[in-house]
Structure 1
């Protein structure tokens, strides 16, 4: 359909709309939300203003009167709305949320909050051409993961050791990060390590962990981190900390880093090291907050993009008891 350009704009928008409604309905079903995705504009409007007639709802939402009438009739039958008759004119009535409707809107609020974040990230691109912008949005919308991305933000996650089934996600998350920040500085070593963490990290006295949401017997990987332990000098290097773009702001990076620090201390590591880049301000803030200190690098980095070397001491302070 895309090959016909603006001539199929209406059809593409309809296809996009239908797909998003389906994704949202799937999400509501999984979260046991007792509303239909198409009901939201009416429910939100009445939640904010209280009572309105069908005509007033139609005017406020810029929808046709028959369409709103048909939809609100269904919502009345489902018990989400209730009708209030005008005491001065029995021919007039208004609609308001029922107790069930109020409870449904309270229950859906956390879902809507995370849905807003995910959709905003899907639309976070610049384009001076509407059709090109639409194509970019379609690319994100039709990846089949809109509902799952929202669930990734809603559902508690856990940190578990890397398994072979996490290999594709480990590659994709870290490669996405590289392409976003350093598209022209991806090396052959990057590709080899990301493609085979078993040999390049785990096989060299390293450990990889992933942050996952358990779903239908499968792991939805939200983030990764690794630790290379150098037993000869009791130090360890933190590397490959990455978090899925749609899960930013949920504390996953902090949880992964805290897990590594606790593990390192438990196995006798005295010093943690890492390399980062001065342009990565969010990462630098995370490391500063967790006690990593910038130091002169002991040796040249394997990566041209890494211009900051940091260390954190894990040795507990000795207390003199008198």
Structure 2
């Protein structure tokens, strides 16, 4: 529909609306929330205001009276709202949340918080042209899957070794990160490691781990990390290795995934009696730098030229015998 421009604006907005309602309903079903996604505006209004008439609800939400009346009837049958009489006018009925409705809205609150993060991330694009912004929003919604992204933030995450089925996600997450921050500094080594992690990392003594939310049908990969052993045989480096290719899906950032992946590397290092971990990063990546500083990595001079033009910071973490 994009090719027809503003003439299909209504249809495109309707398609976005239908998709959002469907995705939110999927989230509610997976989380066993006993409400319909279409009920939310009315339930939220009653949660904030208290008691209102159908006419007042329609006015405040700018919906038609029949549409509100129809929704309210359904919600009453599902025991989410209940009617009371206005104490000052016994002819006037008011609606309020039932105890069941109050509990349902309390249960949905943490889901709404995660949904807000994902939707804000989807709409965080710069455009001075409304139709361009609309196209970007459609791309985010229809290609990303709101429900899966929200469930990634809500679900339990497990760290597992890379399997064949995870290799595309290993490539995609890292490449998305590179294209976002360093689109003109993607090295040949990046392509080699990301396209062939088994051959280029694991077969050479390294490890790759992925952070997944496991579902009955697929592994949703939300983060990845790699460890490459040092091949320097000098006494100071033979028990060391490099942490690299750490990437977390944008919609899951802020949930501690990167820390859990780093912790997995520390556990591996302890089991293999390593004494030092190294990494390379860029000074412009302030969030990454905070994470590494917090984890005890210390900036030092580069011991050798980096193969990556973008890397201007070299860091080490001494492990000792306490891991």
1:162-198 deviation per Cα after TM superposition (whole angstroms, max 9, x unaligned): 0010011000000000000000011222112111101
Structure-1 separation of matches of 2:88 and 2:189 = 79
TM-align CA RMSD: 1.1
Alignment-derived partner of residue 296 in structure 2? 291
Structure-1 separation of matches of 2:36 and 2:81 = 13
1:68-116 deviation per Cα after TM superposition (whole angstroms, max 9, x unaligned): 1111111111110000012443320100000110111011111111000
With normalisation by structure 2, the TM-score equals 0.96
1:226-250 deviation per Cα after TM superposition (whole angstroms, max 9, x unaligned): 1112374111100011000000000
Aligned to 1:273, the other structure's residue is in SS state strand
Q: Shift in Å at residue 276 of structure 1?
A: 0.3
Structure-2 separation of matches of 1:156 and 1:8 = 41
Alignment-derived partner of residue 110 in structure 1? 110
Q: Shift in Å at residue 65 of structure 1?
A: 1.4
**Which of structure 1's runs of 4+ aligned residues deviate more than 2 A?**
86-90
With normalisation by structure 1, the TM-score equals 0.96
Structure-2 separation of matches of 1:301 and 1:229 = 16
After the TM superposition, which residues 30-69 of structure 1 pair with which residues of structure 2 at under 5 Å, given as runs?
30-69=30-69
Query: How many residues of Structure 1 are paired with residues of Structure 2 in the alignment?
Result: 317
1:198 aligns with 2:203: no
Structure 2, unaligned runs of 5 or more: none
Q: Shift in Å at residue 253 of structure 1?
A: 0.4
Structure-1 separation of matches of 2:258 and 2:6 = 42
Alignment-derived partner of residue 254 in structure 2? 249
Structure 1, unaligned runs of 5 or more: 318-322
Alignment-derived partner of residue 281 in structure 2? 276
Q: Shift in Å at residue 161 of structure 1?
A: 0.5
Measured at CA, do residues 144 and 306 of structure 1 come closer, stay the same or move farther in structure 2, by a change above 3 Å? closer
Aligned to 1:90, the other structure's residue is in SS state strand
1:308 aligns with 2:307: no
